[in-house]
Amino acid sequence: MGGLVRRAFKYRFYPSPEQAEQLNRTFGCVRLVYNRALEARARAWAVDRQRTSYMQTSAWLTEWKRTEELAFLSEVSSVPLQQTLRHLQAAFAAFWDKRAGYPRFKSKRKSRASAEYTRSAFRWRDGRLTLAKMDAPLDIVWSRPLPEGVEPSTVTVSRDAAGRWFMSLLVEDPTITPLPAVGTAVGVDVGISALVTLSTGEKIANPRHERADRRKLARAQRDLSRKEKGSRNRARARVKVARIHARIADRRRDHLHKLTTRLVRETQTVVIEDLSVRNLLRNHNLARAISDAAWSELRRMLEYKAAWYGRTVVAVDRWYPSSKTCSGCGRLHPAMPLSVRSWTCPGCGAEHDRDVNAARNILAAGLAER
Which residue in the list 116, 292, 303, 355 is annotated as catalytic?
355
- Residue 279 burial (C-beta neighbours within 10 Å; 0-12, 13-18, 19+): exposed
User: Could you tell me which residues come within 8 angstroms of residue 161 by beta carbon, excluding any fewer than 6 positions away?
Assistant: 238, 239, 242, 245, 246
DSSP 189-255: EE-SSEEEEETTS-EEE---HHHHTHHHHHHHHHHHHHSPTTSHHHHHHHHHHHHHHHHHHHHHHHH
Q: How many whole angstroms separate alpha carbon 325 and alpha carbon 334?
A: 9
Q: How many whole angstroms separate alpha carbon 120 and alpha carbon 85?
A: 17
Is 273 labeled as catalytic in the residue annotation?
yes
Q: How many whole angstroms separate alpha carbon 58 and alpha carbon 60?
A: 5
Q: How many whole angstroms separate alpha carbon 315 and alpha carbon 298?
A: 13
Is 97 labeled as catalytic in the residue annotation?
no
DSSP state for residue 261 in the 8-state scheme? H
Which residue in the list 189, 210, 292, 303 is annotated as catalytic?
189
User: Could you tell me which residues come within 8 angstroms of residue 211 by beta carbon, excluding any fewer than 6 positions away?
Assistant: 292
Which residue in the list 116, 273, 292, 303 is annotated as catalytic?
273
Is 210 labeled as catalytic in the residue annotation?
no
Q: How many whole angstroms separate alpha carbon 52 and alpha carbon 54?
A: 7
DSSP 21-76: HHHHHHHHHHHHHHHHHHHHHHHHHHHH-----HHHHHHHHHHHHHSSTTGGGGGS
Element (H, E) at 187: strand 185-190
Catalytic residue numbers, as ranges = 189, 273, 355
